[in-house]
Chain A
Amino acid sequence: MAWVKISPDAIDSNVVEGKLDRDGCGATVCFTGTVRNRSRGRRVHHLDYETYLPLATTELNRVVLEAESRFDVRAAVQHRIGKLLPGQVSLYVAVASPHRSAAFESCYWIMEAVKTSVPVWKRESHDDGVDWIEGNDSVPAVGNRPIP
């Protein structure tokens, strides 16, 4: 049964993995996404993650349900938003499956889907200023508005 959470709460990997129904499963694959300390050759001070929470939750749930159906796995995903420092965990994906190949493949598939379809954006504060990261582009931020 799909489980997703998007919130400013710190991510506890044990809690996320605990949401998986592992009955009949012999493989669990987990992905931990952390904030890099360098990006595009610049030292990163912190990231601010913005989201459109209702749509992001719906979309993330859709992604996880599709992965569960497509790969015959059980999956749980938590995305952190708000201000994060280098080294802090921004995303955790846990997938359980009867066999390892489906667990690896679906975990990667979920990651790719999150990065292309779930409405979350990162604003990167670095040595040279502040940029929004939008898709593959980096766009200078205007002002420094608070991210809720």
Chain B
Amino acid sequence: MEQGQTKRILTFLIEGFVGLILILAPIRWADQRGLFDNGSDENSVERWASLRQYQDRIPVDVLILGNSHAYTGLSPEWLSAATGMTCFVLGFRGTDVTDHYWVLREALLHVKPQLVLVETTGIGFREEADNLFIERMSLVNQLLAFHARQDELLKAESLPELFELEDFLTAWSPTVMNHHLWWTEPEKVRENIYRAEPYNPTFKRCYFGGYSRFSSGVEDTTLVAYRELGGVLRGGEQYVSEAHANEVRRVVDLGREVGFNVGFFTLPMHEEFLVESEARSAFLREVFEPLGAPWINFQDSTRWLSNPDLFENTLTRNQHLTVEGALTVNQPLASWVLDTFEGLDQPGLRGDSSWHATFMDRKGYHAYFPAQTNSPSVKHVARDVKLQNKVLDQVVFHQDYRTSERFMDVTTRIPQSWLTKLDPRELVVVLPIVIQTGEGQERSGKLNLRLNDHVNDGKNWVFQSRMNAGEILRVGAASLARK
């Protein structure tokens, strides 16, 4: 080839390269300014922001990976209280185990967990997407999860694994993905343009990644539909591909390499929603057993599977736990963690003051730890209140900092005496109280507290009642009554 021709080709390629930069630079600028941001997807941005913001102040002990099943089906605050460790759910909607692996890699830049738990819905499930809509929804979710990540190098490394070439630009640039906003939602773009800074949430208090989405359970008509359909999902179809099995291996290997424990857990679905669940369990077992990876499968716990209150009311191929369901699995998961992984450091149990300062006003704390009188959520604490011939450990009147709901909790050690023969579910604690009403008047009355069945750690019983009126002035001697 003649010299002049080589020069001409090189000149053309250099021109092309310069052209490429001239095109990519403004798109990059628009990405950084967030001109085409379309808001956060079920707190995907917030999770990372909170993790980064609090990485130095609150060491994460248990990092939970997964998709929407993980962040709707677990309450990290309750789990933290039950384990005495800081639990953080880093889950992203619609993602699978390949995404989980890369999320973990990026999370390790910020935290050093003792234990990583992976929820298993993202193992194998996504690959059975058999129609274009589900496939596209999965891709959208994956892209949003990818956009929420910030480490450019790791994002570049993971790009070929997570997406096809055709989606590279969309994955890399929210501007490319959301360019349609300027004709579908122009006011959104206008809002973004006038915003001084791109959306980067900051938190007064650490956010641990939970996201309650489902407050009511499966309705009767839906149950009938499950029966008519013979189940919505078949366990026999939920196999684990070789690719996903390899991703599981990578997560386990990473744990060994970096030095943290890895465990897997399967959140349940209603028994008439997911049929042939034993086949699905067998697929998962085949993956975990050779790796020696601890795994707890709540789909095997027949105790809950028929309770419609615990499960999302849905006919789509994806059933989450309700808030009630999340609380139900909390204690068993915590117990499994503490029994399975030895030598975990539990800052809550060793009296770590910063841990207690973080959690003392969070959900679940009063069920497992003595109430702190300096906690902003605690309105009244009484200790050693008499209960017939027994003594209650504590009576706490507290207010949820987020929902402002107020609760009265009564905690007592499980007695070794005649009371043990009683089923606490059959009992109510009757607590005489004196309150001050909003008008400043004193009024007395009795409060019936029922057992909080979710706190079932074998040490304490917690009786609870919602109480929204007035301020507690004092409590009297309690008594037990049958329901």
Do A and B belong to a common assembly?
no
Q: Which residues of B contact A (CB under 8 A)?
A: none
